[in-house]
């Protein structure tokens, strides 16, 4: 995901402090982050754009792993915000629900672990696979 083989994620993703955690024998993937004051809006909760980024990164990462692809691009994100994230850490746990020839779909559930595992958001992420296409001659 970055130029340095020892770093995970993009510079932006690392600036948010995202952490990738495999689970359940590789069937699920969780992307976690701590809530810092600079991540919060005026009401004191995690900004919606950061929750959206977390859902996108978690879903796309899980789909890339399922497709065994080095390169995917998000085609569509559907996201429902259910509750604010206020304490953290926040975890976006993903399960791939469909793998096609050129795309994949993942369901993402975001919880605030510090608020009794409150469900904050649910999303669906659809990605297109660009990493396994043959090169044009």
Q: Both tokens of residue 22?
A: 């495999």
Q: What digits encode the pLDDT tens for the residues 50-73? A: 999 999 999 999 999 999 998 999
What is the spatial distance between Cα 25 and Cα 11, in angstroms, rounded to a whole number? Answer: 28
Q: Which helix (H) or strand (E) holds 12?
A: helix 11-15
Q: Give the residue, 131 or 109, on which the prediction is more confident.
A: 109
CB 128 within 8 A of CB 75: yes
CA–CA gap between residue 45 and residue 43 (Å, rounded): 6
pLDDT of residue 73: 97
Please, which residues bridge with residue 20 across strands?
Answer: 31
pTM of the model: 0.89
Contacts of 4 (CB under 8 A, 6+ apart): none
């Amino acid at each position: 995901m970055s130029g340095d083989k020892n770093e995970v994620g993009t510079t932006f993703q690392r600036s948010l402090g995202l952490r990738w955690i495999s689970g359940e024998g590789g069937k699920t993937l969780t992307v976690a982050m701590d809530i810092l004051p600079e991540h919060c809006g005026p009401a004191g909760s995690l900004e919606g754009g950061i929750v959206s980024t977390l859902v996108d990164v978690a879903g796309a990462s899980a789909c890339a792993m399922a497709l065994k692809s080095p390169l995917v691009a998000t085609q569509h994100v559907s996201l429902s915000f259910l509750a604010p994230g206020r304490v953290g850490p926040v975890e976006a746990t993903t399960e791939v629900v469909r793998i096609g020839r050129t795309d994949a779909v993942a369901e993402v559930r975001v919880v605030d672990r510090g608020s009794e595992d409150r469900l904050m958001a649910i999303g669906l992420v659809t990605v297109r696979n660009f990493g396994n296409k043959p090169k044009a001659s």
